[in-house]
Amino acid sequence: MSERDNLMHGARTALNTNTEMREWCEQWMKKRERTNHPDKNDEQFEHFWKYHKPEIMHAGSAEAVQAYKSKNLG
């Protein structure tokens, strides 16, 4: 297993066991993803998020957990 896979697995485990962290990370990823879709209105983006959230959460879990930990250090 690669280091990246280990980080992702650890992040996914943390998100699955820490509700507060999961909620913060989900909102962080949603806000970040929203900036990637300026062409969509709010309704269109919510529809997009509903169907793409699982893959976005999976792919961005390590980065989101790192952002969560960083914000709690300051």
Q: Map tokens 């930990």 to a residue.
A: 69
Q: Which run of H or of E encompasses 32?
A: helix 19-35
Whole-prediction pTM value? 0.83
pLDDT at residue 71 in the model: 83
Band the pLDDT of 8: cuts 50, 70, 90: confident
pLDDT band at 42 (very low <50, low <70, confident <90, very high): very high
Q: How much helix, strand and coil, in percent to the nearest 5, is found in the chain?
A: 85, 0, 15
What is the mean pLDDT of the segment spanning 24-37? 96
pLDDT at residue 13 above 90? no
